[in-house]
Structure 1
Amino acid sequence: MKRVRWSQRDGAGLEYVALDARPDAVVIESTIVGESEADAFGAMYRIECDARWQVTRLAVKLAGGAAIDLTRKDGDNGAAHAWTDASGAPQEGLRGCIDVDISATPFTNTLPIRRLQLQPGERRVIRVVYVHVPAMNVRAVEQAYTCLDADGRYRFEGLDTGFSAEITVDQDGLVVDYPGLFKRIA
């Protein structure tokens, strides 16, 4: 079990993550106390992945508020990367997404970094389930990751927004430095 903490660069928030990587699955649980657009919030999330770091379930709960519970399955009838909500209703707008991105945490960068295993100079465009916390809006977006070097530097690009950042990760793909947004606490 690996445990990691991050703080928001502006000092307004803190996150604690417990990462349990087993041979057959990866489970991440986290608690966040943060601030976004001057609104303080508390949230918990749980992400379940298969052994290849492909997300199979995402659950996000806002303290005192909304909850999101999504499951991804690869069907036998060509329903690749099909998502459903907690009641089993299909979420067609999320089809094709493997990874998730929760706005309030740097952890979700780890998912595509571990899954894609990019080589230095390699860039990949992916489609992800994006969850904006605390608004709890869910939509599919396109992002890109580029491995800048073998020392754990990556360029993250939000292709829908034009946002770009160079992030540094450790040997486990966990963010150490996300300029302007998050920093790891030793």
Structure 2
Amino acid sequence: MFTPLPSSAAWLHRDARTGFEVTYFREDARGLLVEGCATAVEDGTVWAIEYRLRLDRSWHTRSAQIVGRYPAGRRTVHVQSDGSGRWQVDGTPSPELDGCLDIDLEASAFTNALPVHRLGLAVGDAADAPAAYVRAADLTAARLPQHYRRIIDGIGQRYDYSAPGFDYRAELGYDESGLIIDYPGLATRAA
């Protein structure tokens, strides 16, 4: 079980890109509203992503409004889910995302908290958690297979995490409220 979320959090993006992310949280009768922004320089390109995520009380993603700003202009995407794994991207059904319960924004370290909260794994337990993955460079959405195995308790929690499509595997650390504090090669918690 996690402690209540703080009112805000921030991450320093490093290694894969240089940048910063700030996120604000507000709970209400429908669940959790998450508003944030991330700015970065990645492979010589500057981008800024603003997002507004609506999660239900079980931490299933219900909607995401995402705005990207780039040297060539501005892009937007609206992603919706029925909470049971069926998705629409800009109002069009996206069957390739069927079965995903979480959104994962490439621009955000925060979104790796979604499956950890939703799954509630005990130490030693593991689960696949495919996500609707939205790329920072162009806001396209695709299915991202992911796997989480809870490996240790302490002040926070630690998970063995893998995303085979990126050939990425790491041990992710989370604080007592279930927010990621260490995402090797990508981000560290700043506030």
Q: Give TM-score, length-normalised by structure 1.
A: 0.90
Gaps of 5+ in 1: 75-79
CA distance in 1, matches of 2:121, 2:39: 32
CA distance in 2, matches of 1:166, 1:16: 23
CA RMSD, Structure 1 to Structure 2 (Å): 1.6
SS of residue in 2 equivalent to 1:114: helix
Q: Which AA in structure 2 matches 1:20?
A: R
CA distance in 1, matches of 2:20, 2:138: 18
Q: 2:66 aligns with which of 60, 72, 89?
A: 60
Deviating beyond 4 angstroms after TM superposition, the runs of 4 or more aligned structure 1 residues are: none
Q: Which AA in structure 1 matches 2:77?
A: I
Q: 1:106 aligns with which of 99, 109, 121?
A: 109
Q: 1:49 aligns with which of 50, 55, 58?
A: 55
Q: Which AA in structure 2 matches 1:131?
A: V
CA distance in 2, matches of 1:116, 1:5: 23
Larger mean CA deviation between 7-16 and 134-143 belongs to: 7-16
Task: State the structure with bigger RCO (CA 8 A, min sep 6), 1 or 2.
Answer: 2
SS of residue in 2 equivalent to 1:66: strand
Q: Number of aligned residue pairs: give it.
A: 180
* 1:135-174 equivalences in 2 (<5 Å): 135-151=138-154, 152-174=157-179
Contact 1:36 1:134 in 2 (8 A): no
SS of residue in 2 equivalent to 1:113: helix
CA distance in 2, matches of 1:141, 1:176: 22
Which residue matches 2:7? 2
Which residue matches 1:179? 184
Which residue matches 2:118? 115
Q: 1:35 aligns with which of 25, 37, 41?
A: 41
Larger mean CA deviation between 61-70 and 51-60 belongs to: 61-70
SS of residue in 2 equivalent to 1:160: helix
How far is 1:36 from its partner? 2.1
SS of residue in 1 equivalent to 2:111: helix
Contact 1:2 1:20 in 2 (8 A): yes
Larger mean CA deviation between 52-61 and 1-10 belongs to: 1-10
Contact 1:12 1:34 in 2 (8 A): yes
Percent identity between the aligned chains? Answer: 26
2:85 aligned with 1:81: yes
Larger mean CA deviation between 131-140 and 39-48 belongs to: 131-140
CA distance in 1, matches of 2:29, 2:92: 30
Which residue matches 1:71? 80
Which residue matches 2:19? 13
2:129 aligned with 1:126: yes
Contact 2:13 2:186 in 1 (8 A): yes
How far is 1:162 from its partner? 2.1
